[in-house]
Structure 1
Amino acid sequence: MKALLLAGLLAGFGPLAALAQTPNLPAVKTTAFRADTISIVKHGAVADGQTLNTEAFRKAIDACSQAGGGVVLVPRGLWLTGPIVLKNNVNLHLAKGALVQFSANRADYPLIKTNWEGLDAVRNLSPLYGADLENIAITGQGTFDGAGDAWRPVKKSKLSETQWDNLVASGGALNDKKDMWYPSAQSLKASTVKLPGVLTADKKDVKDFEDVKDFLRPNMLSLQRCKRVLLEGFTIQNSPAWTIHPLLCDDIIIRGVTAKNPWYGQNTDALDLESCRNGIVEDCLFDVGDDGICIKSGRDEQGRKRGVPTENFIFRNTRVYHAHGGFVIGSEMSGGARNLYVQNCTFMGTDVGLRFKTARGRGGVVENIFIDGVDMTDIAGQAILFDMYYAAKDPVPLKGESTAPPEMKAEPVGEGTPQLRNFTIRNVTCKGAETGILVRGLPEMAIKNVSIENAVLESDKGLVCQEAENIRLKNVTLLSKETKPVMEIQNARDITLDGIRYAGGAEVMLRVSGDRTKNIKVQNTNTKSAKKDVEMGANAPKKAVSISKS
């Protein structure tokens, strides 16, 4: 393959091309392999679904790499195996009809030092693993199954009564409340330990974690510090935890990959790009139990010390079905994220559509995010969400969980203060959401410089904007059921509402509150469609809002 210049790829893609003119993104260095092909059968693999083929995979991959690289072929059939460890210059190719079934025996996966949710940790070896490699690929039309049910805890609230009864009858262990199932008694016991698996001064060797091994679910496809990576064509499903996790990798192409996990599968994100640079994600299909496309860069102090942002990526022509979020940044974004371009994506039935989440203590800067062309249906939560109060909860509260907003008290700005700024979002439609747009910054650090243009959002609530600065909505239609008010702004400044459309007969078009609210401009908007154009809430300055008649 020839090197692909990201900036060049944007040419001819309408509005996104204009967004991407500066900066020019660097070239993506692509993979190239010798034509030599080695079948795993040559090294003793048996496709009977009973024979453990771990050694056959290892021998085939080693032989291919030692010979200078090429293709390791997995023919059609059912291949049972333990972990597969990739090597330099190897393309692991799954023929159409090939099913690689990873073992459900947790003893087949040794503990290793790795990373978990942005922190240095010990986990079980991933079913698909590679570290410090160059020029590697996984391709073909086959399927990987991660035997995730052998690893994942399950909440009773996520299953039907019959499903829950069957799960409990299968073995494992229940917590004291009988509302959480664990695959083993060791896994249950480890769930009560603070930060199980995380490396500390007191626990710094792999052997220190043997007593919690069952709980330390591996990410399914883990690539660390790799360069020139191609993932193309295959299906990857039933992951123990995160499904595809490149960490500190450069030059990545992910094309035509399908990731499928049970909707109740905790932490089963489809794609987590963590502290990675330069790449393309296109023509993929994700249907999982957690976030779909997710951008990360480390957690809290460790992430800031690493200091490597995820940057210079294009995401396009990808569908996300069930997931917590369609396109997500955070919450572990302490190393930052920048220069990300999203185009022509579809989210159907996700909890949130565009989800940008962080929290105090993370630090890091997320900036220069460009989105053009996103269509959504049946979004349970927010169509567009900026949230600096992320609390590691499901975005749609379960029955009995509090829905009260957090109390907003200012705290000192420091290295742990996160920043979200410079977002351009265009050409978005959403048919069905709880809230169209929710912007929720911190009193000490507003969400800054967000432009949303040409959007039609059908939702229960329209706009909620708190602790924000320089937010611009232009040609945005808010078809909200809640009309008292359609838009609510609290302690925000320099907000422009230009060409806003909403359903006729609304009770209140705009409510503003908070003594720090100022310079709210409404222009090119028919204020007469509402019974009341502006309602001044608690402590709002009288001159906070100006209206230019259309």
Structure 2
Amino acid sequence: MAQDVEQPVFKKDTFSIARYGAKADGMTLNTRSIQSAIDECHRKGGGVVLVPAGLWLTGPLTLKSNVNLHLLKSALLQFTADKHQYPLVEGNWEGLEQMRNQSPISATKAENIAITGKGIIDGNGDVWRVVKRAKLTDSQWKKLVASGGVLSDDKNTWYPSEGMKKGSKMKNPGVISPEHSPEHFQSIKDFLRPNLLVLTECKKILLEGVVFQNSPAWCLHTLLCDQLTVRDIFVKNPWYAQNGDGIDVESCKNVLIEGSTFDVGDDAICIKSGRDEAGRKRGVPTENVWVRHNLVYHAHGGFVIGSEMSGGARNIYVEDCTFMGTDIGLRFKTTRGRGGIVENIHINRINMKDIVAEAILFDMYYMAKDPVPLSGEQRDAPKVEQFPVTEATPQFRNFSIRNVVCEGAGTAIFIRGLPEMNIRNITMQDMVLKAKKGVEVTEAEQVTLKNIRVITGDTPAGELLNKTYNN
């Protein structure tokens, strides 16, 4: 049960960063002062590292066991735009071991940690991100180009630097391998964008009350963690932010995400467990997750599983969430090569409004593209072929989705499995879905729709009572 997710407990001892020489003038680089406060708090058995009101400029910080980093109201922890302050470190990106710039905030194998308060943590992501011309107005685009950087050959994409452009043309340039020398990684350093917060193999974590915004890539990334509570936070990235996910929970267990708001450039609340062979080799599913009372504004998907789900996902409960203007509402995505089993997913009481594409989507042909084509972009339907079933064949099964209301969507329900591995045992019931298109189900079996009312245009498309689709 959600109430069984353990909460961290801290000593009352308080270590103000101002006592360690930090200055809130927006100019002094306070990395050493803030890290000193964290380190001493940790050495003395833990407590609260206090960030008072003010603008505190800093480089990357490492959180330690038994430390609660607490931001008072009107405190702004601003991470520097100076990329030289972020050394290259071994990390993980989209399920693969890769070199990355050190994250603004990170922790590895820490226990009993928290980031709390009413302040803001800003990752200065604009200096790192690629931007597509189609996602800006003409005036915004002209201002961005005038700021510096370089353009793609077709002049439709802006890169902050030549190194970023160079890396974008390579396949998996950050992967740690014998072919990739230190000089190679340095030449594309700008491409290896950090996530704002990365917690790896940590236990008993609390993120509460704080605004996390403007991340270079994913905003919050928890990897191989246990006992994670996320409560009453606001995650904010520009809608044009490439890979600007809200929270990615990867190969974690015992997780509670509640009462939080997301307005981001990619998927909002996302469940992952590694990618392809590396994810299967790790073999750690994300499991025992409760997601409730959250609000999502702009995002590619409101609640999402995949596409990196090669270690599996199971025993996940989503309830009482609202999605306003997301590209897709409930989004479950994978592709051949991933492998992994996603099962025992229970969703109840979801409200949606102005969903651009599908209100509910199951798709096993994920193509690593934005869910809604940009203006002028042409996409062909995938070629349907049957392949042999192997360990690299993904599976979606045993989903229950109930009590969904959607006021406006491109498509009500879309389910597309693989010929060799149908999506199986999906039950949807008690829904009212207003959309331009109704229900499409292919390569699926034991998909049961009970008491579903689909309204297309000004008239009901029909009521689906106890209807079961079989391949």
TM-score (norm 2): 0.97
Q: SS where residue 379 of structure 1 aligns?
A: strand
Deviation at 1:486, TM superposition (A): 5.2
Indicate whether 1:468 and 2:424 are aligned: no
From 312, 324, 334, give the equivalent of 1:348.
324
1:94-493 → structure 2 map (5 Å cutoff): 94-203=71-180, 206=182, 208-481=184-457
Measured in 1, the distance between the counterparts of 2:266 and 2:425 equals: 28
Contact 1:345 1:375 in 2 (8 A): yes
Post-superposition CA distance 1:125-157 (Å, at most 9, x none): 000111111110000000011100000000000
Q: 8 Å contact 2:453–2:464 — kept in the other structure?
A: no
Q: Give the aligned partner of residue 77 of structure 1.
A: 54
Query: Is the CA contact (8 Å cut-off) linking 1:280 and 1:314 kept in structure 2?
Result: yes
State the AA in 2 paired with 1:284. Answer: S
Contact 1:40 1:74 in 2 (8 A): yes
Deviations 1:525-546 (A, max 9, x none): xxxxxxxxxxxxxxxxxxx9xx
Task: Within 5 Å, give how 1:21-100 maps onto structure 2.
Answer: 27-100=4-77
State the distance in 1 between where 2:449 and 2:304 align: 21
Aligned partner of residue 264 in structure 1, secondary structure: coil
Q: What SS does the corresponding residue of 1:439 show, helix, strand or coil?
A: strand
The amino acid of 2:142's aligned partner reads D
Cα distance, 1:30 vs. partner? Answer: 1.8
The CA distance in 1 between the partners of 2:382 and 2:170, in whole Å, is 27
Q: CA deviation at 1:188?
A: 1.2
> For residues 284-340 of structure 1, what are the alpha-carbon distances to aligned partners after superposition, in whole Å with 9 as ceiling and x for unaligned?
000000000000000000000000000001000000000000000000000000000
- CA change 1:171–1:421 in 2 (3 A) is same
Q: 1:435: Cα distance to partner?
A: 0.5
Sequence identity percentage: 58
Structure 1 residue 206: Cα displacement = 4.9
Computing the radius of gyration from Cα coordinates, the structure with the larger value is: 1
CA distance in 2, matches of 1:122, 1:136: 25
Matched residue SS, 1:42? helix
Shift of 1:398: 1.3
Q: What amino acid sits opposite 1:165 in the alignment?
A: K
Cα shift readout 1:151-183 (whole Å, capped 9, x = no counterpart): 000000000000000000000111111110011
Q: 1:94 to 1:430 in 2, by over 3 A?
A: same
Cα contact 1:472–1:497 (8 A) shared by 2: no
**Larger relative contact order (Cα-Cα within 8 Å, sequence gap ≥ 6):** 2
- Are 1:151 and 1:183, in contact at CA under 8 Å, matched by a contact in 2? yes
Could you tell which deviates more after superposition, 382-391 or 189-198?
189-198
Provide the rounded CA distance (Å) in 1 between the counterparts of 2:300 and 2:167.
26
Contact 1:64–1:72 under 8 Å retained in 2: yes
Contact 2:448/2:466 (8 A) holds in 1 = no
The answer (yes or no) to whether the contact 1:122–1:206 under 8 Å persists in 2 is no
Contact kept, 8 Å, 1:461 with 1:482, in 2: the verdict is no
Q: Distance in 2 between matches of 1:30 and 1:190?
A: 41
Q: How many Å separate the matches in 2 of 1:79 and 1:399?
A: 40
* Partner residue, 2:465: 498
Change (3 A) 1:520 1:376: closer
Offset of residue 202 of structure 1: 1.8
Q: 1:345 to 1:119 in 2, by over 3 A?
A: same
Structure 2 portions without partners, runs of 5+: none
Structure 2: distance between partners of 1:327 and 1:108: 34
- Aligned equivalents of 1:520, 1:135: Cα separation in 2: 47
Shift of 1:470: 0.1
Distance, in Å, in 1 between the alignment partners of 2:299 and 2:340 is 25
What is the aligned partner in structure 2 of residue 528 from structure 1? none
Q: Which amino acid is the alignment partner of residue 25 of structure 2?
A: D
Whole-Å separation in 2 of the counterparts to 1:437 and 1:200: 42
61-70 vs 398-407, which moves further:
398-407
How far apart are residue 401 of structure 1 and its match?
Answer: 2.3
Structure-1 separation of matches of 2:409 and 2:369: 18
Amino acid at match of 1:439: I
- Structure 2 Cα separation of the partners of residues 81 and 520 of structure 1: 56
Query: Cα distance 1:486–1:416, how it changes in 2: closer, same or farther (>3 A)?
Result: farther
Aligned counterparts of 1:102 and 1:167: Cα–Cα separation in 2: 21
Provide the secondary structure at the position in 1 that maps to 2:116.
strand
CA distance in structure 2 between the aligned counterparts of 1:443 and 1:414, rounded to whole angstroms: 13
8 Å CA contact 1:275, 1:335 repeated in 2: yes
- Which residue identity does 1:176 align to in structure 2? D
Identify unmatched segments of 5+ residues in structure 1. Answer: 10-26, 488-495, 501-518, 522-543, 545-550
- Counterpart CA distance in 1 for 2:73 and 2:469 is 58
Query: Is this contact kept in 2: 1:385–1:439, CA < 8 A?
Result: yes
Counterpart AA for 2:411: T
In 2: Cα distance, 1:128 partner to 1:520 partner: 47
Instruction: Give the residue type in structure 2 aligned to 1:312.
Output: N
CA distance in 1, matches of 2:57, 2:375: 40
| 8 A Cα contact 2:200 2:223, kept in partner | yes
Distance 2:218 2:458 in 1: 37
